[in-house]
Amino acid sequence: MEMAKQGGKRVGAGRPKGTNQYGETTKPVRVPISKVDRVLRFLREREDELPLYGHSVPAGFPSPADDYAEGALDLNTYLVREPTATFFVRARGDSMLGAGIHDGDLLVVDRSLEASDGKVVIVSINGELTVKRLRQAKGETWLIPENPDYPSITFQEQDDTHLWGVVTNVIHSL
Amino acid sequence: MEMAKQGGKRVGAGRPKGTNQYGETTKPVRVPISKVDRVLRFLREREDELPLYGHSVPAGFPSPADDYAEGALDLNTYLVREPTATFFVRARGDSMLGAGIHDGDLLVVDRSLEASDGKVVIVSINGELTVKRLRQAKGETWLIPENPDYPSITFQEQDDTHLWGVVTNVIHSL
DNA sequence: TCCATTGATTATTGTTACATTATTCAAGAA
DNA sequence: TTCTTGAATAATGTAACAATAATCAATGGA
């Protein structure tokens, strides 16, 4: 059977612009093979803009998939200001309960911040990592636990004592 | 002045493999224009593998730039199991101090988890978001604050009460 | 002999090109 | 009218390319 031609102008025909999955134009970026899947997940799940809600709720029952009335939050950007100077430490014990640090919490530590008076810091004492609050007074530097059951120590009284960085955030799992 | 030719074989010459910034081959991936910079930062700063240290310290004074003795951690993967069902809420007040939730803390909430007995949940009561611990007993459902100064309420006694999700993590800033 | 210069050689890199797929439009057919 | 089919155009994944980077070895001068 012969097919008849179906010619003629098709003004305005064709796939409309912006009908891709992102709603905007894309461009190729070189990604190391091992990170391709991670980057695709990053883009697919929009991990850099998860919804943030405040205290009041919009009318009805808003969905996280909606546009976020209270804004979007990027966890990495929020928690890590200086990626090359940031690391994590697992907290142990309850010597810093007063600062909201529980046993097993994950601490975000920034080495680029200045460890000034009052900051919560990570120090290694004889090969052991501990969390303490730094106090500088009368020319002396003290490491003070936030729990009266534990003793304070001076920074200099230990031989192998190194200041690792300043704790910026505490991540507590429920 | 005429340059003399400098011919001959160059066996083994050329830029060695693996001398790129990632140490492995790359391939182009299409990225929406607005996310290009974010993806490049993600790759440059290796945000998906920041170092995690335990309690003991390797010999000397290890640098976060070294290979990570205790492993690497991806904040997004660690905190967000179900990206499409996850959102954040800013906590207010001290009604959940006992659960380690302080005023101003950022709560990670997962809507896909089942709100069973004992879980800390986010509920909206008459348009206000609150954090409470869920208790199911004797056929009744209670919302219990983790602070004796606050009253418990039953889940059904409010008209406009919606369960939003289960709190999985608390992010506390110092 | 020793080493700086210089072209040869090969990988990296950012971008363009392209073939395939997806999506919508409208002329004909039924 | 409604359905079918080809036309039109954007999206998509990847190949290709030109420019750059990094290393090797022959040459030639000190």
B88 and B75 within one domain? no
pLDDT band at A3; cut points 50, 70, 90: very low
Domain total in chain A: 2
Average pLDDT of the residues in A143-150: 80
Residue finishing a domain among A53, A79, A105: A79
Q: CA A50, A51, A52, A57: dihedral to nearest 10 degrees?
A: -160
Q: Residue B156 pLDDT > 70, yes or no? A: no
B89 and B73 within one domain? no
Average pLDDT of the residues in B17-38: 93
B5 within domain boundaries: no
B52 and B132 within one domain? no
Please give the helix or strand (H or E) that residue B43 lies within, else none: helix B36-45
A4 within domain boundaries: no
Query: What are the φ/ψ torsions at residue A47 (nearest 5 degrees)?
Result: -65, -20
Q: Which residue of B43, B88, B101, B121 to mutate against A (max A Cβ within 10 Å)?
A: B88
Find the range with the poorest average confidence among A4-13, A149-158, B120-129: A4-13
Full residue range of the structural domain in which residue A48 is found: 26-79
A17 within domain boundaries: no
Q: Is A74 helix (H, G, I), strand (E, B) or coil?
A: coil
* Structure letter (DSSP) for residue A13: -
A162 within domain boundaries: yes
B68 and B101 within one domain? no
CATH number of the structural domain spanning residue B123: 2.10.109.10
In angstroms, what is the C-alpha Rg of chain B? 27
A103 and A69 within one domain? no
Which nucleotide shows the minimum CA-to-C1' distance to residue A20?
A: D11
A125 and A158 within one domain? yes
Report the phi/psi class of residue A42: left, alpha or beta, with left for phi > 0 and alpha for psi in -120 to 50: alpha
Residues in contact with strand D, defined as Cβ under 7 Å from any of its atoms: A 3, 5-10, 13-22, 25-26, 28; B 4, 6-16, 19, 27-30
- Cβ atoms of A100 and A170 within 8 Å: the answer is yes
Other C-beta atoms closer than 10 Å to the C-beta of A72 total 14
Which one-letter amino acid corresponds to residue A112? S
Give the max Cα distance, chain B: 101
A159 within domain boundaries: yes
Q: Which pairs count as long-range contacts for B134-138, CB under 8 Å and 24+ apart, including other chains? A: none
Q: Which CA distances in Å does A145 have to A123, A133, A142?
A: 12, 6, 10
B174 and B93 within one domain? yes
A91 and A63 within one domain? no
B122 and B55 within one domain? no
Find the range with the poorest average confidence among A104-113, B84-93, B117-126, B138-147: B138-147
> Residues B53-89: pLDDT tens digits?
876 655 444 554 444 456 889 999 999 999 989 999 9
B101 and B160 within one domain? yes
Rounded Cα distance between A122 and B126, Å, is 43
Residue A142: both structure tokens together: 């003290």
Which one-letter amino acid corresponds to residue B2? E
Rounded Cα distance between A154 and A157, Å, is 6
A100 and A74 within one domain? no
A139 and A75 within one domain? no
- Determine the distance between B40 (CA) and C8 (C1') in angstroms: 34
Q: Does A90 touch chain B (CB under 8 A)?
A: yes
A9 within domain boundaries: no
Average pLDDT of the residues in A53-64: 57
